[in-house]
Amino acid sequence: MAHLAIESVSKLFGTTFAVNDFSLEVGDGELVCLLGPSGSGKSTLLRMIGGFERPSGGTIRIDASDVTNLPPERRPTGMVFQSHALWTHMDVFNNIAFGLKLRRLPKSEIRERVENALDMVGLADYGRRMTTQLSGGQQQRVALARSLVLEPKILLLDEPFASLDQHLRERLREEVRDIQQRLGITTLFVTHGQDEALALADRIVVMRDGRTEQIAPPSTIYRQPQTAFVAGFIGSMNFVQSRTRNGVCDHPLFPLAVPVEDGPVTLATRPEALTIRPSYRADAASVHRIVDFGTHKIVDIDLADGSRLKAMVAPDDRMEAGMKVEPNFTSFFVFRDNTLVHQGAPATTGAQLGRLLPV
């Protein structure tokens, strides 16, 4: 078990910051996902922790030691990349044993540790196969075993399953989570898949332009996004531009009491927080399209002002394109300049909600 501390770490490429004054502490046995769009600095950060990239500034500590300037082989870290880079001229056993042989461990110990590692990743009988005779998922398992066999204090995974199909990806990430918990190994997992992060992480770090947008457990990231960027990046979100005047939003559909100074705001509500019911008002919203996902339907609604919202409804809900509907919602967020300024439910906004309901 190990504790990782990243203190004000930056990485400059030319004049661009790939990582900008980034700090994070990862506790013993914790699994933290780095999540963010392409180019947000996730891989660069991971490579700096693994020693494959030297920071332009800041300090990286593992337990009490400063590892900032150590080469990869002198760090207690193991890294698994998206492309597994296995040796094709060696069989699975020797791929996994390679690092142990470099350490000149006795043959019997090498055999035992490799067999344990193979067992852990579900490839007990594959030691003598050549790596070219394995499927993509099996190759990633070998790559994982090759890291685990060295018993790293910190496991670094850079989109290890990105090239696999969805079913396999889901299965492997569950296996990784099981192994990680069983070994209690401190882990950083880079992904740009929000499902992956929500399913795996103890905490998620949402990154943007080399900086942190929010660090929190998955349910907090989803339910209490601190920025409009996080709100839009995790899960599906409806955004509506509005202004506040005298503490009330002036959007006709969302006349909510919002205790912030007058000025522009972005209102946001999740599809599952938006309810719709038939309306006979001429100026009501109309259903544009319905997509049936089996477990639920997503209904696209066009508002009179030309904006479009998504609502989640039950699978047996009878909606048809062209129907007039009245949207309502059960919770909402208000952002100003990307920052959350208010979060509420219409119930807390009192009488204004009445103006949403059909007369």
Ligand X SMILES: Nc1ncnc2c1ncn2[C@@H]1O[C@H](COP(=O)(O)OP(=O)(O)OP(=O)(O)O)[C@@H](O)[C@H]1O
CB of 193 to ligand X, least distance (A): 10
Closest approach, Cβ 13 to ligand X, in A, equals 3
If you write DSSP's letter for every residue of 7-63 in order, what string do you get? EEEEEEETTEEEEEEEEEEE-TT-EEEEE-STTSSHHHHHHHHHTSS--SEEEEEET
- Pick the closer one to ligand X by CB: 215 or 303: 215
Binding region for ligand X (CB under 6 A): 13, 18, 36, 38-44, 192
Rounded least distance, CB 167 to ligand X, Å:
22
Shortest distance, position 82 Cβ to ligand X, whole Å? 8
Q: Which of 129, 7, 138, 142 is nearest to 66 (CA)?
A: 7
Q: For residues 16 and 166, which CB has a smaller minimum distance to ligand X in the complex? A: 16
Q: Which residues pair with 329 in a beta bridge?
A: 274
- Calpha distance 118→114 (Å, rounded): 6
Radius of gyration of the chain (CA): 25
Cα(270)–Cα(309) distance, rounded to whole angstroms?
A: 9
C-alpha–C-alpha distance, residues 23 and 5, integer Å = 8
255-259-261 Cα angle (round to 5): 100
Beta carbon of residue 162, minimum distance to ligand X (angstroms, whole number): 9
- Smallest gap from Cβ 180 to ligand X, in A, equals 21
Q: At closest approach, how far in Å is the CB of 218 from ligand X?
A: 19
Cβ proximity to ligand X: between 10 and 180 the closer is 10
Could you tell me if 149 and 121 are in contact, meaning their C-beta atoms sit under 8 angstroms apart? no
Exposure letters 195-214 (e unless 16+ CB within 10 A, then b): ebbbebbbbbbbbbbbbbbb
Closest distance of CB 48 from ligand X, Å: 10
Q: How far is the CB of 40 from ligand X (least distance, A)?
A: 4
| Minimum CB distance to ligand X smaller for 164 or for 285 | 164
Between CA 4 and CA 313 the distance in angstroms is 43
Q: In this complex, which beta carbon is closest to ligand X, that of residue 35 or of residue 258?
A: 35
Q: Around Cβ 56, how many Cβ atoms within 10 Å? A: 15
- Nearest partner of 324 among 359, 279, 283, 289, judged by Cα: 279
C-alpha 150/C-alpha 248 separation (Å) is 60
User: 107 in helix, strand or coil?
Assistant: helix
CA atoms within 13 A on the CB side of 82: 12
Q: Give the nearer residue to ligand X in terms of CB position, either 38 or 246.
A: 38
3-state secondary structure of 167: helix
From CA 22, how far away is CA 45, in angstroms rounded? 9
Closer Cβ to ligand X, 41 or 225, answer by number = 41
- Nearest-approach distance from CB 11 to ligand X, in angstroms: 8
